[in-house]
Amino acid sequence: MDHDSYDDRYIRGILNTVKTIAMVGVSANTSRPSYFAFKYLLERGYGMIPINPGLEGQDLLGRKVYAKLADVPEPIDMVDIFRAARYAPGIVEEALALSPRPQVIWMQLSIRNDEAAELAEANDLKVVMNRCPKIEYGRLSSEIAWMGVNTRTLTAKKARLFGRGIQRMALDRVTLAGAADSATRAHKPDNGDR
């Protein structure tokens, strides 16, 4: 896979299918990017799991903090790496030891480790590097366009909202590159979706 450029359908497919995201390296400091991303995705209905050994056992936005992926007592769909690139291979190895395994390894902005990506892909995990799921969610849902940012998404349709609290938007939008992915159309949200 070309990790320099991702098709919107690939990113949209990931964001539409994952439900639980373990963020490795999340900070409790409200001015840190990891805190913003964690809070944003939590507010969009994802089951966010904070991973930080320095905060183990504490509460972060109502979620228990775990020291490592192996400590999490529930299945993880996506591992979001908010650590330096040199730590990515070890985190991927931790993720591969889980049962069931996560579906996705996501490395945040400025984090790229080709060795970690190759290891994950060799074990049938999807990989995204040097991207932020918060930014991609906002761009693909057209939410970021509310602030006047050009998302390269063209639509006259109002975004569908579903869920509880601050509602998660559907990402099946028509882009300038073409029609919405049929896989995203197959995802029928119901009241049980997060």
Task: Break the chain into its structural domains and give their ranges.
Answer: 8-135, 141-185
The pLDDT, as a whole number, for residue 143 is 77
Write down the pLDDT at residue 153. 52
The CATH number assigned to the domain with range 8-135 reads 3.40.50.720
* Residue 47 burial (C-beta neighbours within 10 Å; 0-12, 13-18, 19+): middle
Residue 154 pLDDT = 52
Q: What is the structure's pLDDT at 142?
A: 77
Burial readout 121-143 (b: 16 or more C-beta within 10 A, e: otherwise): eeeebbbbbebbbbebbbbbbbb
Cα–Cα dist 64/74, whole Å: 12
User: For residue range 126-181, what is the model confidence (pLDDT) as tens digits?
Assistant: 999 999 999 999 888 877 655 554 545 555 555 555 444 444 445 553 333 333 43
Give me 116's structure tokens: 């970690």
Q: Which residues contact 176 (CB under 8 A, 6 or more apart)?
A: 152, 153, 154
The type of residue at 128 is V
Q: If the chain, 194 residues long, is cut into consecutive pieces of 10 residues, what is the mean pLDDT of each piece?
A: 94 96 97 95 96 97 98 98 98 98 97 98 98 93 60 52 46 40 40 44
